[in-house]
Structure formats: C-alpha cells, structure tokens
Amino acid sequence: MVRATTLFAATAALALNAHAESMYSKKSDVVQITGMDYDRVIAKSNYTSIVEFYAPWCGHCKNLKPAYETAAKSLAGIAKVAAVNCDEEMNKPFCGQMGVQGFPTLKIVRPGKKPGKPMVEDYQGPRTAKGIVDAVKDKVPNTVKRVSDKNLDDWLEENKDTAKAILFSEKGIVSATLRALAIDFAGLVSVAQVKKSEKTAVEKYGITAFPSLILIPAGSDTPVKHEGKVDKAAMVQFLSQVAPPNPDCPPPKEKKPKAKKDAKKESKSSSKFSKASASHKSADSSSAAASATDETVEEPVVPTESPDPNIKDEDTPEPVVISAEERKPTIPTITESAELQSMCLNEQSKTCILALLPKDESSDAAKTAAASLASIHRKYDVSGSHLFPFIGVSASNPVAASLLAELNLGSAEQVHLVATNGKRAWYKKYSGSAFGAEEVEQWVDAIRMGEGKKEKLPDSLLVVGEKAEVKEEKVAEQEPVKIEVEEMAEDATQDAEAPGHNEL
Ligand SMILES: *[C@@H]1O[C@H](CO)[C@@H](O)[C@H](O)[C@H]1NC(C)=O
C-alpha cells in the first residue's frame, strides 16, 4: 500500500486538496482513486476495472469525459470504472510507475491467477462508451459453469455442499452480468447457466420463462425460484438470502498492523526473495554488472496528450500556478514489500530514489530528507519534466531490513538515501550526513547525469519483473480467452440490440 507521508500538512488539509481539481464529481459513476488506494481498490479486487489516467487540463481527457461516464453507468455492477488525476502531486510517482506518458491513458486491470497480481493492459480501442464497455465486459473473468442435460447431475453432486444458483437462458453465452454475479458470490454460491434447449433440466425445475433464476440451498434438492425482474440488483438481492455478497475490495487497513500480521508478511517476502535469487542466472548478473557503468542522462519525458487533437489552441493547458499552501511537500511512502518490489526492485525497474525512513518518521532527519526530496521532485514536476520516482520506505516494510543489511547502509535508526536501478542492477548511496535540499539535489543531479560510483545491486534484492510474469500468464490463458472472445462478439451484438438487463 502506498501512503503519503505528510510532513507539514495535516492529513485533513491534504485530503481536501486531493480532489480540488478532479475532473469527475463525487456524484459521478466514475470512481476517483489515488495512487494510495489503487492497490487495495483495483489490484486486490476480484473485479475487472478500467482506470483512466488523466490530467484535468488535458483537452482529450475533457472530450472523453461524457463517454467515460456513460460507460461507468453501463458497467455498474459489472466492472469498476475509475480515474486517477495524474496532475495531483501525490499521484505522480504512481502514474509514472504505471508507464503513463500521455493523457488520457486507459488501462484495463483484471484479476490474475495470483491474488493481488492483476493483469494490466492498455485499452487502445475507440474512445466511445460502447467501445469501452465491450472491451471491459470481455475481460470479466468467467466462473459460471455452463451445464447441459448431460452433466447437470454431476454438477449438482460436485456442488452439493454449497448453495447453487442456475440461470436458465435462451442464450448459450454467459453474459458479463452473470459473470459479475458469480464474482459477487465467489466462494458462497456456485453459479451455472442452462440453455433453454436443455429440455430435461428445464423440465426438472419447471422452468417456463427465460431468463429465470433459481437457488438451490446447500444440502437441499428443493429449488427456490426467483420472482420478478431478472436484473443484476434483483439477482444480488435474491442470492443474498444465502450470504451477503463479497465486498468489492479488501477493507482499508488499520494504521498500525498487528505484530502477527507483520511476521507473516516477512516470511512471505523472504521466500519470494530466495526464489527470485535462485532463478537468477549467473550470466545475467555479469552482464548487468557490465552495463552498470554505461548509463548516461535519463531522458526527461514530458507527458503529452495523445494524438488526434480535437481541440483548439485556447484549450491548451496554461501552466498551473500552485500556491505554496496547496503544495505541501510529500513523497509517497511504501509499507508493503510487494509494492516496493513492483515499483523499484525488479529486473525491469528503472532508477528509483529510496529514502529509508527510521521507525520514527517524524524525526528531524526523516522530515528534512523527505521534504528535500519532495521539493526537488516538485521542481521537475512544475517544469513538466519527468524525474525518477522518490519513494519513502517505511521501517515496517520488510524490504527495508534487507536493503539495510545487503547494502551495508548502517543503522535502522537513521535515514538513508539510496538510488537503485533494477534493470541495470546498480545502486548508489548518498554518503552525506546532512539532508538539506541543496546537498541532496547535488547527489540527485549526479545520478541524472550518470555520474558517481555505482555499486552492484545484489540479486537477492530483485524479484523477477512483473512484466515478464504478465506475459507468461497471458500465453497460458490464450486458449480460454479465445473461446470467450467468440462468445462475447455474439454477446456484444445482442447488447447492441437490447441493452441492459435483457442481455441475460
Ligand atoms: C475474492 O474471491 C474470493 C473467493 O474466490 C473470496 O474469498 C474473497 O473474499 C474475494 N475478495 C474480496 C475482496 O471480496
């Protein structure tokens, strides 16, 4: 989880500012998220999401807004539609890490095989409500079993100890709505779909109208028939007699995690570490060591709008004037090892500047270092140029201890600044003892220019790149995806004829 370290500002003041320039109102069906809640609300959700990365001044973003809001309405109860304001100071490192280079950028995020490890892909389709809705529906995972006369008894037997729901439909394809219903009740109700042409099953339950939903309680043969409208909300309510549906994401964490929880995390992350280092090939590390010397300047990347501008010059952004009051210096602080690994410590990651914070994050040195980093980053942000992310690593992050030990940084009671580059496997320490903006900026400049002594980043600190993992999973999933695409094409056509609840 990423959380902002508030140095001078009261959290409440920051929260007020956080949505000051949001493009979407609170009433909008589009959910405003920040880099802080992405992990919990999107990455750890069982639902598929689409996330728009935008800047409020961007003309294409304004043009997209009505279609995006319509899409959000159509996808209600099926998938999450979210937006991140990348102009917001606290979201900038996150937007950078998500590879956002132009506005708007749309990414579809869907649950992966491993919980919390979603598959993320850019949405490149038409920027219309229909284009977005179809693409997102297509990515909603399917756990609904299609049951026929032949395998009905087997399915009933397999699921005899759980509650079961069967949707009888004229259609063979499983709609996104029913797939979403199965996600709502994952682990609570097994969901199947039976086509009208399966005569034996239809007769067995006395079904005469389509679509019809029935519920068979655990350990029972007696179905309960759903009466009334067969839409998402009604179906959720009907199945809720078994148990309330799953929440759409894990609840927010308490500020202070319990000691027990921490220990669990620690052992998890250390096994990950050893697995990662075991999979490293020696050839990799020698080439990484060789390339660790040839880095030059990091090219500043200025986020641009995507092409095809439909807007006139007067719409082009004016430089945003930010009052000192609005720009309280903050850097994001990461408390979880997986988050830090996926941002900065994998084989794909580019340069990051990490501030390892002592337990007492409000100590003078910690405050000064974080404020210096924040003010340096802000300089770049204001000028619109890209600078590698500055990340606070909280002392409770299990990776902090590994970094301290592996890089011989010294005492955990002190602040340590270190630049890392996972791809090229190097790191650079900040050797000064003062953390004023001037001293720290000199060091940051040297890193930008590729100057200064680089040391070899130990393999044990790097996990295998997320991107590689995503690719593998995609390949493995190719077959079922193919089948779904075919079905969905049919689904989409039917949607166009009869939108809304008729898709069942
Ligand atoms: C996700 O689904 C699993 C069952 O597959 C369920 O146990 C879990 O509670 C769901 N997660 C959330 C956040 O609801």
250 CA: nearest ligand 1 atom: 13
Given this model, what pLDDT does residue 329 score? 57
Residues enclosing ligand 1, CB less than 6 A?
46, 186-187, 246-247, 249-250
What angle, rounded to 10 degrees, do the helices at 259-279 and 398-406 form?
50
Residue 489 lies in a domain: no
User: What is the amino acid identity at position 375?
Assistant: S
Residue 300 lies in a domain: no
Tell me: the pLDDT tens digits for 298-337? Answer: 333 444 554 443 333 333 333 344 344 334 457 888 888 8
- Same-domain pairing of 332 and 474: yes
Centroid of ligand 1 to alpha carbon of 388 (angstroms): 35
Give the CATH number, domain containing residue 178: 3.40.30.10
Tokens at 399, concatenated:
């990776």
Last residue of a domain, one of 138, 172, 188: 138
- Same-domain pairing of 331 and 477: yes
Centroid of ligand 1 to alpha carbon of 40 (angstroms): 13
Over range 383-390, report the average pLDDT.
Answer: 75
- Same-domain pairing of 342 and 457: yes
- Same-domain pairing of 89 and 163: no
Residue 473 lies in a domain: yes
Determine the straight-line distance between the first and last CA of the chain, rounded to whole angstroms.
Answer: 37
Last residue of a domain, one of 239, 263, 295: 239
Over range 167-174, report the average pLDDT.
Answer: 95
CB atoms near residue 441 (< 10 Å): 15
Residue 244 lies in a domain: no
Tell me: the pLDDT tens digits for 340-367? Answer: 888 889 988 889 999 999 988 888 888 8
246 CA: nearest ligand 1 atom: 14
Centroid of ligand 1 to alpha carbon of 186 (angstroms): 6
Please state the domain count of the chain: 3
When pLDDT is cut at 50, 70 and 90, the band that residue 252 belongs to is: confident
User: What is the amino acid identity at position 392?
Assistant: G
**Is it the case that residue 196 has pLDDT exceeding 80?**
yes
Residue 83 lies in a domain: yes
Tell me: the pLDDT tens digits for 177-188? Answer: 999 999 999 999
Residue 51 lies in a domain: yes
- Same-domain pairing of 8 and 133: yes
Question: CA–CA separation, 49 vs 107, rounded Å?
Answer: 8
- Same-domain pairing of 331 and 459: yes
- Domain extent, residue 409, equals 326-482
CB atoms near residue 356 (< 10 Å): 26
44 CA: nearest ligand 1 atom: 13
- Same-domain pairing of 83 and 159: no
